Amino acid sequence: MALADDTVLYRMARAESLSIVHLDSFSAVYHRASGITHLITAPAPEILATLGEAGMTRAALLDRLARDYALGDADMDVLRERLDELVATGLVSRA
């Protein structure tokens, strides 16, 4: 399980399928594929911005978030929860 988990790549939904507007501490995201509007807050916008479409493992993502956004309390389990939520919305996919 741990091994498989480490190799899973997370990808942001195709950039052309999203419209992201930064409002304040929240961002509004229109997902063209589903026609659904999402309101997301930290660390979800940062996760989307970091993942990109190329894809990234959870460990690599955690490193980048900690470096780029000074998320000192970043934690693999919490990150997994946030990623699972984003996967459920369709804004992130697992490969």
Partner 1 sequence: MNHQFSVAIGPVGFRIGSDWRAPIAQLETLYRAYPKPTDGVPDFTVRLFAARPWRRVLRPSVMIGGDFVLPEAAPLPLAQGLLAAEMGMNLQMALGQRRYLLLHASVVERDGEALMMTGVSGAGKSTLAALLSLRGWRLMGDEFALLDPETGQLHAFPRLVSLKNTSIATVAAEAPADRFGPLLEGTPKGTIRHFVPDAHAIATMIQPARPALILFPSFGFEPAARDVAPSEVFVRLTQASTNYVALGERGFDALTKLVTSVPARAIDYPDTASAIAQVEAAWAAR
Summarize as ranges the residues that interact with partner 1 (CB under 8 A): 19, 21, 23-26, 28, 30, 32, 35, 37, 39
Residue 52 CA to residue 9 CA, distance in Å, equals: 11
Q: How far is the CB of 16 from partner 1 (least distance, A)?
A: 12
Distance of closest approach, residue 32 Cβ to partner 1, in angstroms? 7
| Backbone phi and psi for residue 54, each to the nearest 5 degrees, phi listed first | -70, -35
CB 76 within 8 A of CB 83: no
Pick the closer one to partner 1 by CB: 32 or 67: 32
Least distance from partner 1 to the Cβ atom of residue 17, Å: 11
How open is the CA angle 67-3-44, to the nearest 5 degrees?
Answer: 40
